[in-house]
Each structure stands twice: as structure tokens, then as C-alpha cells.
Chains A and B, each alone.
Chain A
Amino acid sequence: MIEVLISAAVLASMYGLVAIGISFTWASIGMLNLAQGFIFTAGGYTAWLFAQYAEVWGITGPALSVGVLILGMGGSAIAGLLVGSVAFLPLQDRANFRTRSLIATLAISLIGTQLWLIFFGPQNKPLPPVFGEGRIEIGAGGISYQQLGTIIVASGMLAAVIFWMRSSRHGLQMRAMMMNPLGAAVVGVSVRTTGMRVLAISGALTGLSSVLLAQIFFVSPTSGTQPLVTGLIISLAGGLGSIPGTVAAAGLIGLAEALTARYLQQSLVPFVLFGIVVLILIFRPRGLGGLLEDVRE
């Protein structure tokens, strides 16, 4: 049972990061960033490139781990800015922005996959283990360093972002834009600058999850699809734009996935997830976040 809970927490923290990135972007600039898969892979490949050169430069140990994490986030943040400058800045004040930016991000993700294929080839690229190898035994079960590190780093990063959102001036601007974009613009919050900032931050979150996920799987041109789809599902179930809702949904979905894989069948996982999300949405068309809002009121 403990193992199930741990694997649920690992899954939840990794997918939750992607989901919060999507949710963030939607709430503040009204753009559904479906190029999140491309951003995800960009972080993975940046980290991989760094790891390749790190061997040459003789960087090992903690410096390598920190470098992989930071460069993964940096690469994804830059990819996020790139997506923003193609799909957000030119379309932002045009008619039908939502649909058009949706299609634009999809086109970027189509192009992105092929570019990775051209430059890095179809092979899977492994990343060095960031948290070392080993296990801590707790009673009946145990937890590997990798799982522990994933949970700690992901939740630490999330906490840092939320804290920054609540306490800093830039965070205030972003929250203002989430609540009322027009009002924020009227009182002098630049839609474009803040939007690009949001895209960079959600890119960085995605890049972190990319490095963390690459500890289990590998980096490949299409490795962004699965996190994108799961992230979408989670952000939908959590209610787009609500961070507590997204965190709750990530926990729920991670638990459901771990439970199904353990006690039912791995092949049923997609259907269980889909069924849960459809059920949530049928009763709460605005997701869990909407539910939380109602309770608060």
C-alpha cells in the first residue's frame, strides 16, 4: 500500500507540474498552450546536451545534478518564450485569439517534434540519475532516492512558485491578470510582458517535470505527448486556472493511476483516468477548482 501511495505521489508531482503550467497560461493570458509537449522535450534535450558536455568538462556529482535540473528548466523556459513570441505576441490582440492560438501551438508542436527528430534522431536519450541510486527502507516498503527526490524537488518548486506569486510584485501582476485581464491592463499591467513571463515560468515548471520524468523514461522526440495529454486531463479536472484544484486533481489522478496499475491492469489506466475526468466534468463542468470556489463562498 505504501508503495502505491509513493508511486501515486511521484506521478502526481511530475504531471502536476505540467498541469499547473497549462493551467497558469490559460488563466492569465487565455491561451491553451498545446505546445507544452514541445517545451517538455526542449528541457529534456537541453539537460541531455549539458550532461554530454559535462563528461568532457569533468563535472560530476551534485554539480552535475544541479546543472541538469537548472538547464532543463532554462531550456524549457526559452522554448516557452519562443512559443509565446510565435503564438501569443502576434495573435494576442486579434479576433478569435483562443482558437487561433490553440491551432498555432498545435502547429508548433507538429514542427517541434520533427525538428527534434532531425537534430537528435529517433533514439531514446538517457539522462544521468540526478538523485543518485539507492533506497531507504521503511518498514514493509521502501522509497528510492529518485522517488524521494522527485517528490521533494517538485513540491519544493511548486511551493516556491506559489510563494513568489503571493508575495512579489510580479506575482501580484500575474494574479491580477488571472482575475481580470482587462482591469489589469487598465491599471497598467502590461499584458505582453506579463504574458511572456507567465509562459517562461510555466515553461520552467514543465522543464523540471521533464528532467524528473526522464529519470524513469527517456528523452525522445515524442516523449512530450504523454505528459501533455495527462497534464491536460489533470488541468481540466482541476479546473483551468485554479492552483489548489490542479494540485488536488494531480493527487487524485496519480492515485487512480497507481491503484489501477497495481490492482487492475496497466491497459485499463487510460480508461480509468478518462472515466474519472469525464465524471468530474459531468458533475462539475468547471472542474475541482470550481468546486473549491463554491465551498469557499
Chain B
Amino acid sequence: MSKEQRLVGRRAYRPHWPVNSHKVFKRRRWPGTKRSMLKLSGRYNPKTLRREMVLTDKKPLFWSVGLLALLLLPLGVASDRFFTMFGIICIYAAINVMWTLIIGTAGLQSFATLATVGVGAYGAGYLSVTYGIPWPAMLVVGALLGGVMGWLISLPARRLDGLYYALLTLGLSEFMRNFVTQSDALGGKFNGALFGVARIVPSDLLTTQLGQSLLYITAFIALLIALAVFRWVNGGRTGILLRAAATSKEDESFASALGIDFNKERTRVFIIASAMLGFLGAFYATYIGGTSLQIFSLDLLLLLLAMIVIGGLGRAEGAVVGTVIVVGITQWFTEWGPWRIVLVGALALASVLFTRNGLFGLKEQIQEIRERRQALHRAAITGRYAEYLPQQAPDILDKSQIVGRVYEKSLRERLRSWINPDLIAEHEAKPMGQHSDHLERMLNYFRKAPIPDKYAVYCEVPFESYRVVALSGLPGVPPRVVDDKVYPTLEQAYHAVFLRRVNDLRAS
């Protein structure tokens, strides 16, 4: 979703390019759906007035560049270390994207992610080792097991509040681990690990670079499938409605007012995500050719949570980028030993303590801080200079008027500070002719005052009697007499006008 462009302040750059307005523009859509690939809108360029196309949502660009880099980097470097690291990144990112679907879209705080993955991995792996089923069947079995598991876990979700549900599911992994350790069929030999699972890439190819590349490409495809499922569910009708409901306070009643059965839809999303998790588990088993109890450990679950938290809870891009960061740290700095996990934990802790929503919430957070500081600054300069600032006087069309008023105000203040008995005495001594700088400036200011109510000298009898009057400013309306004082000379009358003006300046 792209935001509206702001009227004041910094604007986001939107890619745009001129188009031929005589031709009909054909919008590209995903095959079989009505969804457009890119969010484009046409407009006339405000400066050149030429027809142009604007890309309103830049995310698809970032996604395609990022995913292309993720695909090409290991294939280009082609070292074992890169293949291992990026393979793990792809699989964990896929798991995290599905987890994001559960937390963000379904709004269920479930920690049963790895338990579901492990059920898929162990179920499919066990069938493959014991009955020798091929890998496509394993993937199907994994998805089915995951779906069933998801349905079972979602049963208590109908009755439980968010955090209660989180607590309930946190224990599941540990229970599964105990079960595998103590069951005779799975545990016992090799401490619960399974070996010799059917693999997608034939095992004689695996030692070659081609085999490694193929294996990596399968992991990448798994990530793409997960992202596609995320897009399908999260961007679909249900996902949009569920998210709309999740932003309001009264989630469930609001959703039912919109016409969706909140619990049913939530469970549906949960089961889809769980089936996908089971599928990923089975894929993981074929990917590494086996599975171990490591998958049920609480530490791995916490590591996955750290990835999501660092990236930003509830966003697919956060899940992927967080995974890249965390797996990058844990796989690249292997010589640091346990300290690298400590570093990851510290990063997660810092992102909880200092950011609102991880890495991808940072932009909004910084923007909000900046806006707050701008507002404070604006308030400060408003207090210093004038009642108005150009941003705050929308009804005055001629902004130069506002600037003029601001200038007048500061000028008046300066002049007021110059008023003192010496200045008045100087004017009394010599109303006409050359004056000191301050007095000259003050008289200049008085001279350019507007005509209505401007003081003037009225001559009753030349060289005998003068009066102070105020001009009306209207044609045909005579000036009014201000008081009944009569001055014998012109100089005294001038000085009386000056005193009145000084008084008015003092009072303003």
C-alpha cells in the first residue's frame, strides 16, 4: 500500500516515465488472476504536461532485486560455505514467512512453528527411511501431516486469548522432542536422528558443483513457494479482511460486521500455513538427507523468533531480511562459538527495547521523530516572531502579506525599545530638519502609516492656531478633530502629533 504524497515537507521519490498517450496501455496481470504485477497509475506531469506513468508501489522492485541477488550470489561464488549458508537462509526464511502469516495475518501468537516443521520432517523422513517412498510423496505427506497438526493445534485457539495460546504452544516443541527421544521407532538409535532420507538431487551428483547448485535452487524454489502462498493468503480477500479487523480494537465483532466468520477464517489461514510448514519440514528432510532433534530445540525456536523480531513482526520482508541477518551472523562467524548467538540475542533485545517494530518499522519511527521535532521547532519560532507562519495561515492567499506582518511586528518592537525622554526632547526642540538616526527611523515609520485614522495638523488661522485631526481615509468625509487643544505654532502642533503617534506605538 502506498501512502498519499505529503503536501508539506519531504516527498517520496516515485519512478515515472513518459508514455505515448495515443496508444492504449495494457496492464500486465498475473496469469489466471485479476491482480496486476505492478501498481501503476497514469497522470499528466504537472510541469511538462506530458502524459506519464507512475509506479506507486516500489516494493515489487525491491523484492525482485533482492530475490535475484539471493539466487545469483551463491551460484556466482559457488563455494560450499555459500551454498550451505544461503540454503539455510532460504529454508529458514520460508519457515519465517509462514510464521509471519500465522502471527501477522491470522493474529495467532503461536510458537508451534518448529513443532509443525518437525512433525513434517520426522513423519516424511520416517516413511522414506522405512518404506522408501520417493521425495515427491514425502513432500505431499509432509504437507498433509502439517495440515492435520495445524488443525489439532488450532482447536484450543478458539477459546484462548493471545498470550495464553502463546504459552500453550511454546511447550509443544519440547514435548515433541521428548516424544521422539523416548519412542522406540524414532529415537533410541543415533539419539533421535534419521539418516538416509530420499533426496531430490541424486546423491552421486551432490559432490559436484552442479549438484550443489541444483540443491540450492530447490531451496530457493521452496522460498518462492512460501512467498507465493504468503501473497496468496495475505493479499487475498480473507487476508485483507483479517488484517483490517486486526487493526481495530474490537477485532472479532468488527470482522463479523464485515461479514466474515473471524474464527473460521483464522483457522483456515492457520491450517494453510501449517500445511506449508509441514511441507517445508519434509523438504528440509530431503534437503539435508535426514533430520535431527535439533529441530525441536527451544534455542532454535528462539533464534527464529529473533529473526522475525529483528526484521519486524508481521511483515514478509522483515522475516526474510531478519533471516538473512541472523543466519549470516551465525553461519559466517562460526569461529566466535556461542558468542554469535549472544550477539543475535542482544540484537533481538535491542530491537525490542529501542524500536517499535524491528528494522522495517524503523523508517516510520524515524519519520515520526522527525515530524515531532519539526513541530517543536515550528512552535518555537512561532513564539519568537509572530502569530502567523506561512504554514499556519492557510486562509491568507497572498503569503507576502504574512511576511509583511511578521516584519512589521518585529519593526514595531524595535522602535518601541528606542522610545525615551531624550528622543522626545530632541523632537520637541526641533520637529523639522535633520534628526538623530533613531528618531529619523521612527519618523519614517510614522510617515508610511495607512491613511485611515492617520494624525494630521489642521490650520485654523495661519501662524495663529493649529489643531490635531485624524484623517477619515474616505473621499468626501472630513477629518475629525481629536481634542480641543489649540497650538499657536506649527512646530508645537507637529510635536503634539508626534506624541500621539508615540503613544499609539507604545500601546500596540
A residues within 8 Å of B by Cβ? 32, 34, 37, 86, 90-91, 95, 98-100, 102-104, 106-111, 113-115, 117-118, 222, 225-226, 229-230, 232-233, 235-236, 240, 265-267, 269-271, 273-274, 277-278, 281-282, 285
A100 and B341 contact, Cβ closer than 8 Å, known pairs A107-B306, A267-B183 = no
A104 and B349 contact, Cβ closer than 8 Å, known pairs A267-B178, A285-B164 = yes
Minimum C-beta distance from A75 to chain B (A): 20
Question: Which of chain B's residues has its CB closest to A86's CB?
Answer: B349
Whether B163 and A225, one on each chain, are in contact in the complex, defined by CB atoms closer than 8 angstroms, is: no
Whether A270 and B163, one on each chain, are in contact in the complex, defined by CB atoms closer than 8 angstroms, is: no
Contacts of B418 in A (CB 8 A): none
Main secondary structure on chain B at its contact with chain A?
Answer: helix
Contacts of A117 in B (CB 8 A): 338
Report Cα–Cα, A109/B306, bound state, in Å.
Answer: 12
Whether A111 and B346, one on each chain, are in contact in the complex, defined by CB atoms closer than 8 angstroms, is: yes
Partner of B338 from the list A90, A107, A118, A266 (CB cut-off 8 Å) is A118
Minimum C-beta distance from B153 to chain A (A): 9
Report Cα–Cα, A107/B178, bound state, in Å.
Answer: 23
Question: Which of chain B's residues has its CB closest to A100's CB?
Answer: B352
Whether B349 and A111, one on each chain, are in contact in the complex, defined by CB atoms closer than 8 angstroms, is: yes
Whether B345 and A229, one on each chain, are in contact in the complex, defined by CB atoms closer than 8 angstroms, is: no
Q: 15 extra interchain contacts, Cβ-Cβ under 8 A, other than A114-B339, A267-B178, A285-B159?
A: A91-B353, A95-B356, A106-B305, A107-B345, A111-B341, A111-B345, A113-B341, A222-B297, A229-B170, A229-B171, A230-B171, A232-B170, A271-B179, A281-B160, A282-B159
A-B contact count (CB 8 A): 123
**Residue B155 at the chain A interface, CB threshold 8 Å:** yes
Whether B170 and A109, one on each chain, are in contact in the complex, defined by CB atoms closer than 8 angstroms, is: no
Whether B341 and A114, one on each chain, are in contact in the complex, defined by CB atoms closer than 8 angstroms, is: yes
Report Cα–Cα, A229/B342, bound state, in Å.
Answer: 22
B residues within 8 Å of A by Cβ? 109, 155-156, 159-161, 163-164, 166-168, 170-172, 174-176, 178-179, 181-183, 297-299, 302-303, 305-306, 309, 337-339, 341-342, 344-346, 348-349, 352-353, 356
| 7 tightest Cβ-Cβ pairs between the two chains A and B | A270-B175, A267-B182, A111-B345, A229-B171, A114-B338, A110-B302, A110-B345
Question: Which of chain A's residues has its CB closest to B178's CB?
Answer: A270
Minimum C-beta distance from A121 to chain B (A): 10
Whether B338 and A267, one on each chain, are in contact in the complex, defined by CB atoms closer than 8 angstroms, is: no
Report Cα–Cα, A233/B172, bound state, in Å.
Answer: 10
Whether B302 and A106, one on each chain, are in contact in the complex, defined by CB atoms closer than 8 angstroms, is: yes
Contacts of B172 in A (CB 8 A): 274
Whether A233 and B171, one on each chain, are in contact in the complex, defined by CB atoms closer than 8 angstroms, is: yes
Report Cα–Cα, A222/B294, bound state, in Å.
Answer: 13
Report Cα–Cα, A111/B166, bound state, in Å.
Answer: 20
Whether A90 and B302, one on each chain, are in contact in the complex, defined by CB atoms closer than 8 angstroms, is: no
Contacts of B305 in A (CB 8 A): 103, 106
A229 and B174 contact, Cβ closer than 8 Å, known pairs A281-B156, A282-B159 = yes
Contacts of B174 in A (CB 8 A): 225-226, 229, 270
Contacts of A111 in B (CB 8 A): 341-342, 345-346, 349
Partner of B349 from the list A102, A108, A274 (CB cut-off 8 Å) is A108
A104 and B353 contact, Cβ closer than 8 Å, known pairs A109-B302, A110-B303, A225-B298 = yes
Contacts of A110 in B (CB 8 A): 299, 302-303, 306, 341, 344-345, 348
Question: Which of chain B's residues has its CB closest to A267's CB?
Answer: B182
Minimum C-beta distance from A286 to chain B (A): 8
Question: Which of chain B's residues has its CB closest to A225's CB?
Answer: B298
Minimum C-beta distance from B290 to chain A (A): 21
Contacts of B341 in A (CB 8 A): 110-111, 113-114
Contacts of B339 in A (CB 8 A): 114, 118
Whether B352 and A104, one on each chain, are in contact in the complex, defined by CB atoms closer than 8 angstroms, is: yes
Whether B302 and A107, one on each chain, are in contact in the complex, defined by CB atoms closer than 8 angstroms, is: yes
Whether A103 and B182, one on each chain, are in contact in the complex, defined by CB atoms closer than 8 angstroms, is: no
Contacts of A118 in B (CB 8 A): 337-339, 342
Minimum C-beta distance from A107 to chain B (A): 4
- Count chain B CB atoms within 10 A of each CB in A95, A102, A108, A282 and give the residue with the most: A102
Minimum C-beta distance from B441 to chain A (A): 55
Whether A266 and B168, one on each chain, are in contact in the complex, defined by CB atoms closer than 8 angstroms, is: no
A285 and B160 contact, Cβ closer than 8 Å, known pairs A103-B305, A225-B298 = yes
A102 and B163 contact, Cβ closer than 8 Å, known pairs A270-B179, A277-B168, A282-B155 = yes
Minimum C-beta distance from B303 to chain A (A): 7
Whether A102 and B353, one on each chain, are in contact in the complex, defined by CB atoms closer than 8 angstroms, is: no
Minimum C-beta distance from B270 to chain A (A): 16
Question: Which of chain A's residues has its CB closest to B338's CB?
Answer: A114
Contacts of A282 in B (CB 8 A): 155-156, 159
A115 and B175 contact, Cβ closer than 8 Å, known pairs A103-B352, A107-B352 = no
Question: Which of chain B's residues has its CB closest to A91's CB?
Answer: B353
Report Cα–Cα, A266/B176, bound state, in Å.
Answer: 13
Contacts of B176 in A (CB 8 A): 270
Whether A103 and B346, one on each chain, are in contact in the complex, defined by CB atoms closer than 8 angstroms, is: no
* Contact sample, A vs B, 23 pairs, CB 8 Å cutoff: A86-B349, A90-B353, A100-B352, A102-B166, A107-B345, A108-B345, A110-B299, A110-B306, A111-B345, A113-B299, A114-B345, A229-B170, A233-B167, A233-B168, A235-B167, A236-B168, A240-B164, A267-B179, A270-B175, A270-B176, A274-B172, A278-B156, A281-B168
A281 and B159 contact, Cβ closer than 8 Å, known pairs A106-B305, A229-B174, A232-B167 = yes
Minimum C-beta distance from B111 to chain A (A): 9
Contacts of A226 in B (CB 8 A): 174
Report Cα–Cα, A90/B355, bound state, in Å.
Answer: 12
Whether A115 and B171, one on each chain, are in contact in the complex, defined by CB atoms closer than 8 angstroms, is: no
Report Cα–Cα, A113/B300, bound state, in Å.
Answer: 12
Question: Which of chain A's residues has its CB closest to B337's CB?
Answer: A118
Whether A103 and B348, one on each chain, are in contact in the complex, defined by CB atoms closer than 8 angstroms, is: yes
A281 and B164 contact, Cβ closer than 8 Å, known pairs A118-B337, A229-B174, A233-B171 = yes
Report Cα–Cα, A286/B38, bound state, in Å.
Answer: 48
Whether A274 and B175, one on each chain, are in contact in the complex, defined by CB atoms closer than 8 angstroms, is: yes
Report Cα–Cα, A111/B346, bound state, in Å.
Answer: 7
